[in-house]
Structure 1
Amino acid sequence: MTHEMTITKLTLWHIGLPMRFTFRTSQGTLSHRESLIVGVTTSSGYTGYGEVVAFTEPFYTAETLTKSKDILLTTWLPFFVGKTLSGPWAMYDLIRDMPNTAPDAVAMTAKTVDSASAPADEPLADTWRSHYPMAWAGLENALIHAYYGEQRLSTIGTLVLGEKHKAIESGVVLGDMPIPDLLKAVDAHVAKGCKRIKLKLKPGDAVARVATVRKAHPDIILAGDANCSFAIEQADEIIALNAYNLRSLEEPFRVKDASGNYKSAEVYRSLPQELRQAIKTPLCFDESVQSLAELKAMHATGWLDVLNIKVGRLGGLRETVRCLDYCRAHNIGFWIGSMVESGVSKYMHVQLATMADTWMAGDLSDMSRYFEKDIITTPIEFSKGCLAVDFRPGLGTDIDESVLNEYTVAKFVFE
């Protein structure tokens, strides 16, 4: 029998999380994490939570926190008040009746959304969703956690098929820093039991950074992330990384156009096959693959070996599950990433990282590295490099309301 869930209230918290250090990549820095938390309360009194993981500046994708907040407050949240979901993905049927109006802050963007840009069989509301995946993911995750949570079912445990482990290993991401400091940081994390390190890399010193770490730790699983920072003319640096047995290298080449939009499949399709054959390191894609359609397009170029899975970037759990199914069907490696996010999004990724067929440990390490306090009650803290994972109902953990309120910059309620 299909479960029905009626929505009585939607809440949006705009929060600010002070970070314990400045995180640097080739694309920018982050020292204070603003985020949006969506709460969906049902007629049973249960509340499901989701997080909008867009950044305040468009260094990762074109979607920013302001754009996400605008479309949620003006269109999506008020629309769902009083609606009833008769299945886990019923929200997709409902949005076909969503009014075709959008705030100027959303419409006037690099990815302009208008009736001409939408396919003939796709309502404009669906087009907005595809253009603002992180805003939609925050809402969809809250809806789906509420739907399964009030039935006392685990969302990830129910939706994501396949064998799962009861614990995960940590995977530390280290930002751009002087090489001596980098080596000290790697030493410290390996001493705590971490077996997988990912380095942020940029043109000029990428090989030196990898070589230094690999010499000091020949047996650890080592990965790299270039964040689309290398020009094609700098490919020799990428080829030189062949010698260091990287598990994968993310987003090596520049693929953004002048408007900040990713042209990944187009760029990689134009590259010579000789270059593809010269690069032996498995290539992983992250920010330039934001949907199943883009995954298929990149896979068709012959350059994609591995996919970094982030629910927010992919636009919610439905699209994430579709991408996982595609990867499994086509023997594409996948593993679980992270967005410097609160536990509302992070714990969902912790659960996903239990999948037995992941490519390597995810970008999941102690939350206390980033923030003094988290807004969930389940500590994400690894012991000797391992973390036991819970699959309680819904999200799998509870919200610490006192911390949530402490970090809240603004709060909006629709009921």
Structure 2
Amino acid sequence: MNRTRTRSRTRTRAAFRGFLAACLLAVTAGACTDERPETLVVLGPWTGDEGEAFEAMLNKLDDGTGQTYTYQGTRSLRETLVAQLEADAPPDVAILNSLGELTEYARAGRLRPLTTTAAARAYPPWAPPLSVDGTRRTYWVPLKVDLKSLVWRKTGQGARAAAAPKWCVALASQATSGWPGTDWIEDILLHRAGPDVYTEWATGRLSWRDPRVRDAWTTWAALLGKRSKASVDQSLTMSYVGTPDPAANGGGVPRGLLGSMTPRCTHEHQSAFIRYVYADDDRVRVDPAAGFLRGRPDHDGAYEVAGDMAAVFSDNPAARTLVERLSGGTARTLWRSQAQRELRPFFPDAADPQPTDPTGRRIADILTREADTLCFDASDVMAPGLRDAFHRAVLRYFRDPKEARLDELLDQLDAVREDAAPDTAPGRLPASGVCAPPGG
């Protein structure tokens, strides 16, 4: 063996032994440790192209500290988060769309208050402050928002079709089937009874047996009209995004209900996010829903909205810093640049970058400028147990919209409401946090 190489290896081993000895002597002082910041875990609802765009933004959000992030996207967000919390392994940051769930987590001591900078971006009605343990704090901030009070329609259908829409309805959505129907009932109640009644109902302060709530259900049934068993079965089993288009990207792209339902329908009530399925169809237009829902004119300026809010679940200070940065202008500009044109998110502040396609611009103007009042999705305000019961009740009523069945369902929902936390429970979402003028 080469003697020079042998001496070199001997010196290397000696140096390594010396290094280990020094580490053992200095370990109590914190030396010889890996000082790189640990990777933060972000749990969120976006998968596919949406998830890739968010993750790309996250990877580009370099603050010069060497902080790294990993994104976990799932369609079973609540189930995944509950499992992680039960295993005492929560994500550092989770992005949720339910104010009811967020309120429960804050009340249970699972959430950490946000920084002052992030709290300043907690625009109502997406992120009202909560009073927990006698202190009023902000626990989440909206990252992405959506407008729900919209109707999508095919053009060229003629005046008769416009006067008497033939509504597309699909209620299937994996474990959360039924929510497209709850959106209908919420929107109808908002436009017929107004924001004050809507708020009382959403926060559990109004009985489900109230005539105004009952009227929203029967109005929905009247708008949809009489349906055959085949039509009802199709609506109960079809996904809310419709069936895949066999001519697009190997058949994996949904074509929306306007291109999926048989026989053909002319109008669809759906949130702003659905615009991505109609991005290449110049015949589809979007209108505010108020003109189709038999509401009162003085409530036409009220719109139902939804959002995806970021909250901190860990004690790592870097997680609070991340939420502060995610809600800022740099992250939003990056996010918009990484997303496909028809998937570019809406933000709550008119000064933030917004979609530039014609439909996106129209929706952004309503969200940030034109609306008189924005009211958060009522079922997402409710406690999770009541929200889930609402979903199931909608499916049962759609299958059998008889008066007696409706009375039975409303009685059951009211029993669930009465079992929920009382108004005085710490951390309960305040009534003032459900509806608000456009913020930012």
Q: Same fold (TM over 0.5)?
A: no
Q: Whose RCO is larger (CA < 8 A, sep 6+)? A: 2
Q: TM-score range by the shorter chain?
A: 0.3 to 0.5
**If you compute each CA radius of gyration, which structure gives the higher value, 1 or 2?**
2
Q: TM-score, normalised by structure 1?
A: 0.33
Q: TM-score, normalised by structure 2?
A: 0.32
Query: Greater share of helix residues, 1 or 2?
Result: 2
Query: Greater share of strand residues, 1 or 2?
Result: 1
